Amino acid sequence: MSQDDFFATLGEGEGEAQPPAPRQTRSARRERSRQWLQQRRRRRRRALISTLVLVLVLAGVGFVAYQALDVVKGAVSGSGTVSDYTGAGTGEVVVTIPEGASGGEIGQILKDAGVVATVGAFTDAYAANSNASKIQAGTYTLRLQMSAANAVAALLDPASRSDHTLTIPEGYTMAQVKDRLVSVAGFTSEEVDAAFADASGIGLPEAAGGQVEGWLAPSTYDVPENAAATDVVGAMVSLTLSRLESAGVAASDYETVLIKASIVEREVASASYYGQVARVIENRLADTDGETKGRLQMDSTVLYGLGRTGGIPTADEVADASNPYNTYQHEGLPPGPISNPGLEAIQGVINPPAGDWLYFVTVNLDTGETLFSATHEEQLKNTEQLTAWCQEHAETCSGQSTSSAGN
């Protein structure tokens, strides 16, 4: 077939077979091919325009659907259900966040309490706050109908927990712990006394002999709404037991370790000296035939027996052998702990540094600087430094313990 015949064939319509066209001149055939190509281009343009129109129509439908959804949301909002509140909220509500709670679980707790509008709003705000993972378990005072973002911020604010936490400092005595349980946690004196006496209820080990002194672990505790005094005291005992077990202390040594650690806590203010004071205790207990005759000779134990936590015992008080905690008069350890020691004091007792010290004295009551010595003569020289310091700081030294052994 020639090129002219090919172009002539392209111009034929579809459908039934067409009779052969009369033979045309070459110029006529070329004109017919040109017309056919123009028609084809027009059909392509119409198809393209149709496609564009369809796309625009679909986009319009999508926009209308989006607007409709927005209207539905607005209608839901107008009916009283909102996806998120705005602002800092009003009133107060107490909520408790359990240990290990996820963002979704916290959101559900807050929604149920009326703090946030929806769980989804809170989880979105939780994900948007890079510090949200630092939210701690505990009891919080929050506001009602807070924005989710404000709720996350409030849970990260220590002030939201301040009314529900109880801090027991290292070295506090049982009496001091009781005062905080009453004044801070809001328990009555009778409730605290009952908790202290309930050895089974608070999980007090048999080694304690029914006495809680030494077992009330220093720490910061969460006090949930409607908590019982027994629950809080039990948490303190449990923490002390956990610390002893983690340190590898045998059950038979629990009380001995706590007695020594309690003295360490009361004798020096700086944890940097805990190990050395623990070594002095060990050396004195072993020095039954030496200078100290196995006596600790520590003011802190005498004062505990007198019901005091500060000051300096008088000469008569030091000479009073009727005080079972008077380690100037009685060899060995006192009958029980004289305070509630923290973890560092316990560790200092378990692993004290090597040394031949038998004496120590704090020579600067502002900085806590303490000097250690192996002989009584050295101790006297060190004590002269304290005397000189106190002459320059009479108000500071008045009524304060010198934190010394064997002075």
| Winning range, highest mean pLDDT, from 26-40, 85-99, 191-205 | 191-205
259 with 336: CB under 8 angstroms? yes
Query: Is pLDDT of 89 > 80?
Result: yes
pLDDT on residue 78: 42
List helix spans (H) across 25-78. 26-78
395 pLDDT tier (thresholds 50, 70, 90): confident
Residue 139 Rama label (left phi>0; alpha psi -120 to 50; beta): beta
Given a cut of 90, whether residue 30 has pLDDT beyond it is no
Instruction: Report the mean per-residue pLDDT for the chain.
Output: 84
pLDDT tens-digit map of 325-344: 999 999 999 999 999 999 99
Does residue 399 register a pLDDT over 60?
A: no
Are residues 272 and 310 in contact, defined by beta-carbon separation less than 8 angstroms? no
- The pLDDT of residue 365 is 85
pLDDT attached to residue 131: 92
- The two beta strands, 359-364 and 404-405, are antiparallel
Percent of the chain predicted with pLDDT > 70:
78
In this prediction, residue 224 carries a pLDDT of 84
Token readout for 302 is 């005498």
Span(s) in the chain for CATH 3.30.1490.480: 90-160
- What architecture is the 90-160 domain classified under in CATH? 2-Layer Sandwich (3.30)
Stated pTM of the model: 0.70
pLDDT of residue 63: 44
pLDDT of 402 above 70:
no
Exposure pattern of 327-358 as b/e (b: 16+ CB <10 Å)? bbbbeebbebbbbbbbbbbbbbbbebeeeebb
Q: Is 194:188 a contact under the CB 8 Å cutoff? A: no
**Confidence class for position 41, pLDDT limits 50, 70, 90:** low
Give the pLDDT of residue 338: 98
Distance CA 96, CA 225 (A): 8
